A and B are shown apart, each in its own frame.
Chain A
Amino acid sequence: MSGTFLGTPAFPTAARTALGDSQLRRNLAHATGTIRTKRAGVVGEVDEWEQLRLAGAAIKERVLRHLPDYLEQLERSLTAAGATVHWARDAAEANAIVVGIAQRHGTDEVVKVKSMATQEIELNEALEAAGIHAWETDLAELIVQLGDDLPSHILVPAIHRNRAEIREIFLREMGRAGKAAPEDLTDEPKQLAAAARAHLREKFLRAKVAVSGANFAVAETGTLTVVESEGNGRMCLTLPEVLVSVVGIEKVLPTFEDLDVMLQLLPRSSTGERMNPYTSTWTGVTPGDGPQEVHVVLLDNGRTDVLADPTGRQALRCIRCSACLNVCPVYERTGGHAYGSVYPGPIGAILTPQLRGVGSDPQTDSLPYASSLCGACFEVCPVRIDIPEVLVHLRGEVVDAHKKASRLPSVQDVAMKAASWTLSSAARTERAARAAGFGGKLAARVARRDPGGRTVLGAVPGPAGAWSDSRDVPVPAEESFRSWWERTDGGRSRTSDSDSDGGRS
């Protein structure tokens, strides 16, 4: 993948691409709908699902509260098991470590297990810059890489592609990167998978160095875990001589028993399976079995900044299952690229601004607003991250950062201040309501009635345009509720009501 998310416009603009692409909208709706249904089925059959969620959240919370201790314990366990542990403050340090290891072994290629952490630090680009090919071996990552595309989903990075498009990419690009696709390739999933398998097989057998991430890292034993569906990960983790794993520091788990909870939560939430086909665990080096040189790069890259925020830190509980993406009505319509990050969807909207920091980049600052706060994400999150709460909190952080920068107040700042001033006094509110009612009276002359008899306006110019392009605008009632209450003593006095029908009939 040579492209990066750099230069993605702010969310509302970036969303237009997908909103206007009916093929993409269909691909997304079909794919997310399918996964949603599967997830609901396998989650629904677990009686103690809520207890599992609470347990998962508690385990991750404990890790975050005592992160330094667990990380040092992990380092000790890994070292004792024959692995080499590296600490990387940021992307540049992590990339330099991995590139250095590959160079030391004189290789011009590495095979890769699907890994969000390496996407986050743009490791492939760093390796390519050093003349080392990084071959993605996960089917969807391969599709993204061959198509010189960007990932749009945490679990299925090529979710925005359909079978016909994948067939085209394979026919066009596979030959340039290795074994070509058969010329009579159809868009049957079986055939597409077979073509990918043949293409990847020679790379698995040839590669000396593999790069992976990890879903979990057990502090007690020094055991790393990768959970996958295709078996490509298993090939990478067992065949090459050298294995380098880039692991976010929040991936640590206290004990091996904790995997019991996590390995129930993750596959059901992620792929909608009771258990994923391949769960690989490895503990340092086992003589004569698998990679004989094992490196673990523990990556910070902004995570300690996230940890410093008592409200926002729950985002570090994330186990990258992508359930929140699959239920998100915004994600379903805008796709993943609109989020301008390898972490799209609801989790991306709270993780990316925290990893990057808010207040300096309009694209990043638009992410906490890329949600209607419907709460579907919180409902399905296996580790109970209250995403809506964090979104609102981060909106506050964005606003405060802009105020602190002491620029001129924005139009929004002024409007909010004015609204706050008006609404903090009932007398001022009443005056404003009367003015609105008078406006409503005037507007009623040019308005029409909706079927409920409500007075509505069609498209109007000015700031209300964003609303009224497709939505009729309700006209303020000629008499507000508070005025009605005052005039009729809450409806108790027998004042005729015919002159105060709320401007509707």
Chain B
Amino acid sequence: MPRVGLMVTCLNDTLFPDTGKAVVTLLRRLGVDVGFPAAQTCCGQPMVNTGYFDEATPLVRNHLDAFAGYDAVIAPSGSCAGSVRHQHGLVAERSGDPGLVRAVADAPPVYELSEYLIDVLGTVDVGAYFPHRVTYHPTCHSLRMLGVGDRPTRLLTAVRGLTLLDLPGATECCGFGGTFAVKNAETSIAMGNDKARHVRETGAEVLVAGDNSCLMHVGGLLSRQRSGLRVMHLAEVLAQTEPVISDAGRAADRRSVGSAGVSA
């Protein structure tokens, strides 16, 4: 049995713990005993993307230490998985420490959730049930940095009861961009509003994506606009197995994650 470590990401840890719980529920249901190395913190992407390579270096070291001994790492985030896969090497090179460069090269592979489910487990139908109209936003880093392609939509299509609606202009960036969302707030919001408009055009009840950072941005706009739309992480949709009472959302948030999470 390979040892698989959940890299929950710092954003999910603090703001969206339900996403982490959903990953645990989902993987246990599929027979994967996922571990959570408590030494993990943040992959360093916020520092790297703001230009603070020196400040990212200890976080890269910490990530390597935390996941040493695991065979694979799973992250419910295209952007953090992309950061580990593509940026840790750059940080190591800039640090000038050949030991760190080697350690990054030898680190266990990191998978974004949909990659792990389809490429490693070979599972498209994860046994989920979610009777709602859904539209999916492919986040830029999962789409272009990782190249996850249609894996997330294949997973969603296999969910019982779920209606997947096409999102116009799906592949265009929502405007979050990490540091960009604050440094260039007005441009970021202009991009986000266009994305929110496209989401509303679909008539979906739920916007799904594989990155809570982008959902925080688009969801923050949708919520401010009192659109009545919900945003959910892909993991949370895939973790659902019970019919949810569909009185406009509230009850739907009684996720099966906490309690159902024990049924291994």
Contact = CB atoms under 8 A, between A and B. Distances in A.
A170 interface: no
A392 B184 contact: no
A471 B224 CA distance: 6
Contacts, number: 247
B192 interface: yes
A379 B144 contact: yes
Contacts of B90: 389, 392-393
Interface in A240-265: none
A233 to B, nearest CB: 34
B258 interface: yes
B87 A15 contact: no
B191 A333 contact: yes
Nearest to B91: A396
Contact of B221 (A333, A471, A490): A471
Given A374-B173, A426-B39, A471-B221, A477 B14 contact: yes
Contacts of A437: 14
Contacts of B238: none
A250 B116 CA distance: 43
A468 B8 CA distance: 25
A396 B51 contact: yes
Given A374-B173, A452-B230, A491-B262, A436 B53 contact: no
Contact of A480 (B17, B58, B188): B17
B187 A333 contact: yes
A472 interface: yes
Given A451-B230, A497-B259, A472 B224 contact: yes
A492 B184 CA distance: 44
B249 A451 contact: yes
A402 B240 CA distance: 49
Contacts of A481: 8, 12-13, 17, 20-21
Nearest to B51: A395
Most chain B beta carbons < 10 A, residue from A393, A450, A480 = A450
Interface of B is mostly: helix
Interface in B12-66: 12-18, 20-21, 24-25, 28, 35-36, 38-42, 44, 46-56, 58-59, 61-62, 66
A450 B219 contact: yes
A392 B12 CA distance: 24
B88 interface: no
A458 B224 contact: yes
Nearest to B184: A12
A481 B15 CA distance: 9
A19 interface: yes
B182 interface: yes
A491 B173 contact: no
A501 B256 CA distance: 11
A201 to B, nearest CB: 42
A492 B21 CA distance: 11
Contacts of A482: 8, 13, 36, 38
Interface in A471-505: 471-477, 479-482, 484-486, 490-492, 494, 497, 500-502, 504-505
Contacts of A368: 51
A500 B259 CA distance: 11
A485 B248 CA distance: 30
Interface stretch (A44-52, A74-82, A128-136, A411-419): A411-419
B150 interface: no
A373 to B, nearest CB: 6
Given A399-B51, A424-B59, A491 B250 contact: no
A419 to B, nearest CB: 7
Interface in B154-171: 171
Contacts of B232: 452
A470 interface: yes
B262 A494 contact: yes
Interface in B167-220: 171-173, 175-193, 216-217, 219-220
Interface string B219-233: 111111001111110
Contacts of B249: 451-453
Nearest to B259: A497
Interface string B4-15: 000010101111
Given A329-B175, A423-B42, A392 B51 contact: yes
Contact of A424 (B21, B41, B217): B41
A426 B38 contact: yes
Interface of A: 11-12, 15-16, 19, 329-330, 333-334, 368-376, 378-379, 388-389, 392-400, 412, 416-417, 419-420, 423-426, 429, 433, 436-437, 449-454, 456, 458, 466-477, 479-482, 484-486, 490-492, 494, 497, 500-502, 504-505
Given A371-B180, A500-B258, 8 more contacts: A329-B191, A369-B179, A374-B173, A375-B144, A400-B54, A420-B58, A477-B14, A480-B17
- The 8 A-B pairs with the shortest beta carbon distances in the complex, nearest first, are A372-B177, A395-B51, A471-B220, A497-B258, A453-B253, A374-B173, A375-B144, A420-B55
